[in-house]
Structure 1
Amino acid sequence: MTDREAPLLEARGVSHYYGARLGCRDVSFSLWPGEVLAIVGESGSGKTTLLNCLAASLPPTAGTVAYRMRDGVSRDLASLSKAERRFLMRTDWGFVHQNPADGLRMTVSAGANVGERLMAIGERHYGDIRQSAIGWLERVEVPADRVDDDPRGFSGGMRQRLQIARNLVTAPRLVFMDEPTGGLDVSVQARLLDLIRALVADLGMAAIVVTHDLAVARLLSHRMMVMKGGVVVEEGLTDRVLDDPQAPYTQLLVSSILQV
């Protein structure tokens, strides 16, 4: 089996409970290299709980999540040490938060935010790190002359673009995105979505995108899962699910968008 034929991430029977309250239950799927999966649903549907289980920031109550490392060996994330998980998150993975402040160091410069990720993979030459940081700022439409400014002076959209640069500079194989355009003005959302779509395609990375917005799912994803009450009620190719929804809840979601 070649590298492109083997799943990058596999979830099997993933469940999480907060005490007696259900977060998500019995979720299974495989994610392939270069594939973008959208997880959609209303607030409280379990999509963010599932994302956190997949990203190893929340331990599943039951089930397993396995990730295929760069050496080709699949590892159960629960078997990794804290140091191994931290290294994975700083190099092979990215995580784009809805609130950019959760994914940035707000008191250091834009350049330092990007450069820290490069240092995590062994870069040590200051000049090279700075040039790479400037290159990535320009790539995400942050002016190069803002490289020494800290993110507290940036707009919300610019902070989000900086967070994307920070996550993608190490060429991760998998990026988790939690409502990446939430809270932004519509015009800013549109530009950001175009940027994300282009970068994901250019870098050939896989992504898991949590969103309540079906338009975001259609634009970014190849495949989607619809969640309600902590369980997956429908899944399939994005265009098929949105153009011919089978589950009553998915039909309701799609029809509500069409009526807006």
Structure 2
Amino acid sequence: MSDEPLLRVTGLSKYYGSRLGCADVSFELYPGEVLAIVGESGSGKTTLLNCLSTNLEPSSGLAEYRMRDGVWRNLYELSEAERRFLMRTDWGFVHQNPADGLRMTVSAGANVGERLMAVGDRHYGRIRDTAIDWLGRVEIAEDRIDDQPRAFSGGMRQRLQIARNLVTNPRLVFMDEPTGGLDVSVQARLLDLLRSLVSELGLAAIVVTHDLAVARLLSHRMMVMKDGHVIEAGLTDRVLDDPREPYTQLLVSSILQV
């Protein structure tokens, strides 16, 4: 991992009127590092993810990103055009519901190819070859390249969404419950695929999940959230094997009893 972080977050808070979304969150994320944000429904983890990915503007605090030219930029001071470019090129966002991250009415190949066109590739043959290569990497057969995602199973749609996000070699990927709603056997294959791709590509990733098994398999570090606050943070194995906070202990023990 690089000596210099990719993302610096300082005192990030989000309120919806008088209701707290998340409060005073600070951390650094390094290239190649996967951070899991865990907690029950309503803990604030999705609000935090949406603030970090600039889908929401925080009430206070700072999130700074190190651009490819090495210059640090405050994410909330980017223009709309700069933000959109970042989302199409340097970042990826894997939604829990793949329909939110795919264009359901164009082919699988076009879903992948669109991202390549966003970074300036205009050569049809090269785009198609790259799409075929990426479909293979996410275990989608070449003969499905012209099929629309609506003809795919949930697991295939999620794998296609992953290919669409990773084809431009982003440096940072946000994942919102990436295995939610999938059968257990499909989840296991998807997690293996994600883990191998993240490792192979050296991606930094922020994964929001309520599933501690997902956090253990994918992440290097984790933050546990409760009522909008980070109550425990550290190396994933340390937090799960030796939780210090009573709430984290309860989360871990409830998983073990299932």
TM-score by length of 1: 0.99
Equivalent residue, structure 1, for 2:186:
188
Pick aligned residue for 1:224 from 219, 222, 225: 222
Q: Secondary structure at the match of 1:107?
A: coil
Answering whether residue 124 of structure 2 is matched by residue 148 of structure 1, we say no
Question: How far off its partner does 1:71 sit?
Answer: 0.4
The equivalences for 1:66-105 within 5 A come to 66-105=64-103
For residue 137 of structure 1, what is the aligned residue in structure 2? 135
2:60 aligns to what?
62
2:242 and 2:51 mapped to 1: Cα distance? 29
Question: What is the aligned counterpart of 2:106 among 94, 105, 108?
Answer: 108
| Structure 1 partner of 2:21 | 23
- Runs of 4+ more than 3 Å apart: none
Q: Secondary structure at the match of 2:231?
A: strand
Alignment of 1:241-260 (within 5 A): 241-260=239-258
Following the alignment from structure 1 to structure 2, what is the Cα–Cα distance between the partners of residues 100 and 255?
31
Unpaired segments of 5 or more residues in structure 2?
A: none
Paired letter, 1:143: A
Q: For residues 9 and 116 of structure 2, what CA distance do their matches in structure 1 show? A: 29
C-alpha deviation, 1:133, in angstroms: 0.3
| d(CA) in 1 for partners of 2:75, 2:255 | 37
Q: How much has 1:124 moved relative to structure 2? A: 0.4
% identity of equivalent residues:
80
Superposed displacement of residue 220, structure 1: 0.1
Provide Cα deviations, 1:226-259, integer angstroms capped at 9, x if missing partner: 0000000000000000000001100000010111
Q: Secondary structure at the match of 2:10?
A: strand
TM-aligned CA deviation for residue 79 of structure 1: 1.0
Aligned mates of 1:20, 1:153 — CA distance in 2: 44
- Aligned pair count? 258
SS for the counterpart of 1:160 is helix
For residues 39-60 of structure 1, the C-alpha deviation after alignment (integer angstroms, 9 at most, x for no partner) is 0000000000000000011001
C-alpha deviations, 1:100-158, integer Å up to 9, x for none? 00000000000000000000101000000000001000100011100000000000000
CA distance in 1, matches of 2:137, 2:123: 21
RMSD between superposed Cα atoms in Å: 0.7
- CA drift of 1:4 comes to 1.5
Which residue of structure 2 aligns with residue 52 of structure 1? 50
* Residue among 120, 124, 127 paired with 2:125: 127
Cα distance in 2, alignment partners of residues 251 and 4 from structure 1: 32
Structure-2 separation of matches of 1:142 and 1:226 = 34
Q: TM-score when scaled to structure 2?
A: 0.99
